[in-house]
Amino acid sequence: MRQEEGYVTTEDGVRLYFRRLGEGPRTVLFPNGFDLIEDFRPLFADWTLVVFDLRNRGFSDPVGDPSKLTAGVHNDVEDMDAVRRHFGIEKINVIGHSYVGLTVILYAMKYGAHVERVVQLGPTGPYPAKQYPAPLSFDDGVLQEVFGRLGEMQKDRGTEDPVELCRKFWSVLRRIYVTDSADAGKIHWGRCDLPNESGFMKYWGENVWPSVLGLDLTPEEIAKVRTPVLTIHGAKDRSAPYGGGREWALLLPDARLVTVENGAHAPWIEAPEQVFGAIAAFLDGAWPEGAEKVVSLDLLETRP
């Protein structure tokens, strides 16, 4: 597979590291997808995949100027378009996982003329602070247990090597992303040897997550997204409640939901054939088998 790597420079001078894989006629942009390249590689044999580190993440430039970080996800939206323009692509397909699953919708809201199709994987919902009832919010006690252990680890912050602390952090946190604890070892998202990643939680807590919580999206704004959107969400997602994915598919005018019944926050781990098959069918122009047109948050009210 052909591979190219380099940097895209944003309008405010921040360099974003990218890797371009494949030679397919259509391009898929996968922001923050470096941790997932090996998992997703077979899917893109016939596509060109552009993966890049978001601002202040991974191999992208560390940003020392606070004014270039305060906008959080809004910076990420602008940076996505900087990458698109760098490659001279008129229309892109985009994939976003977790909170980036929300970011790609913000991108489609602003730059919809340049978006062909959008895939959300376990996305943060349109109303990030919303509390969903069971069974739209999975609670088996693991999240509370993990957060309790992480709280204990915070006592070592400032006294322990940041890289080692980051590794310990991910060794605990990865448990919440899979349904079966035996699969936790399949999560390799830390990249703790990179300074941007070992220090990410500070940036997350001070800039990224506040910018997400500060969103005040209305149904009317969300309805402006005319791009087809496929939302794939695990019903046992502890990190981003299943209700949020279901609500995206309800509010977006041209969206369908694929539910992975035994899936958690990385649903391709529990159901790779279902997830990758759905993405492949969608990017090829069709709604995948089993995709639901959501008409209500009520699980009893569905339409095929």
Domain-by-domain residue ranges, the chain? 3-138+190-303
Residue 159 has pLDDT above 80, yes or no: no
pLDDT tens string 270-284: 999 999 999 999 999
Calculate mean pLDDT across residues 68-82: 98
For residue 301, the Cα-to-chain-centroid distance in whole angstroms is 27
Q: Which helix (H) or strand (E) holds 108?
A: helix 99-111
User: What digits encode the pLDDT tens for the residues 184-201?
Assistant: 999 989 899 999 999 898
Rounded to the nearest 10°, the torsion over CA 41, 47, 53, 55 is -150
Question: Which region among 84-93, 122-131, 154-163 has the lowest average model confidence (pLDDT)?
Answer: 154-163
Q: In the structure, what pLDDT confidence band is assigned to residue 302 with cuts at 50, 70 and 90? A: low
Where residue 288 falls (left for φ over 0; alpha for ψ -120 to 50; beta otherwise) is beta
In 3-state terms, what secondary structure has residue 64?
Answer: coil
- The H or E element spanning position 8 is strand 3-9
Q: Distance between CA atoms of 265 and 241, rounded to whole angstroms?
A: 9
Token digits for 151? 């709280």
Tokens 């349109």 sit on residue: 126
Instruction: Tell me what percent of the residues of the chain surpass a pLDDT of 70.
Output: 97
Peptide bond preceding 133 in cis form (omega within 30 of 0): no
Q: Give yes or no for residue 58 having a pLDDT over 80.
A: yes
Overall CATH class of domain 3-138+190-303: alpha beta
CA distance linking residue 178 with residue 238, whole number of Å: 9
pLDDT attached to residue 89: 94
**pTM for the complete prediction?**
0.95
